[in-house]
Structure 1
Amino acid sequence: MVPLNYGAPRAAADLADQARHAAGTRPTAAALLAAAVAARAYALNHQSEQACQALAAADALMDRLPESERSDTWLTYGEQKHHVHLSHAYTTLGDTRLAHVSQERALELSAPTNTMTRTLLNIDAAACAHHDGDTEQACRRTVAALTALPGDYRTGLVRRRALDLYEAIPAQHHHERAVQELLDVLVA
């Protein structure tokens, strides 16, 4: 997860492949997490075919995962966690329809106090808006998500995900007001 979340998706894909091999094909939380992380890493590496295969494997494992491994702990893999991973993978792949489905389900399952997860899902939704051609809305939504957070929460993974959105915006749009507002929040 660390290389995946902090800008080293190739290393994350390698580690996820090793984890998938070690976890095997039985429906366990470890196998499911490894497949979901692999899907995200492949998507970030522009390996769409491998990402889709890992997403299919993750869904198949989720369908077979025993109830005893579906709670929300560090050692289990619940439906909310699954949809958070799917949201990021589908967003990165540009499949905004499936991304929105996972975003909505993950938000339904996330506690209102789960600030970081809800913010990441909102940034994923903003990235979908950009992908669908509404960069202004994407920037406004990301600015709103970031400014709703205390300053200490605008670092690390949240900042990285918002910065990924900014970097996906073509340079010829960087002078636009909404894009500039996003940059201002990112550098603050």
Structure 2
Amino acid sequence: QTPIAGAADEIDRLLTEADRDLLSTEGKGPVIRLVDAILFEALSRSASDVHIQPLDDRALVRYRLDGVLHTVRELPRTVTGAVVSRIKVMGRMDIAERRIPQDGRATVTIGPPARSASDDASGCRAVDLRISTLPTSYGERAVIRLLDNTQQLCDFDRIGMPSDVCEPFLE
């Protein structure tokens, strides 16, 4: 099973658990694990953003992949508020304030290990998150910008740009 498929199965399992037991105190709560799994799946897919978009009866989880938003799953309405609150806690935002936009930031450590200068001693890598929330008529919308310092920019050859076209950019 691929890491992405495994993460998707884990998210489905955690959605069921979070919907059933929002007050679990054993280890990490189901909502915390759900948000962690969503972030891990987004990073595994090389997403640049994660959007939590509330609707009247559910919320959409959308990843920005290559500049295009893709809906990857739906969250039940019963879990949506808790997920957005968890995201706000991560970004050190006021969870009681739901009427005004808020911005925050966080750094999370994830695995599997990547091989780069920004890796720490345990082999995991740090990913910066820029978090924004915005009130909507159906609840708060959250957007998480994923800034993975280990991602390398593609060079012109890898994206298929002819050398005569890329020369002015290199000067």
Greater RCO, CA 8 A, separation 6+: 2
- Is TM (by shorter chain) over 0.5? no
Under a length normalisation based on structure 1, what TM-score does the superposition of the two structures give?
A: 0.31
Larger gyration radius, structure 1 or structure 2: 2
Instruction: Give 1 or 2: higher helix fraction.
Output: 1
In terms of fraction of residues, the more strand-rich structure is: 2
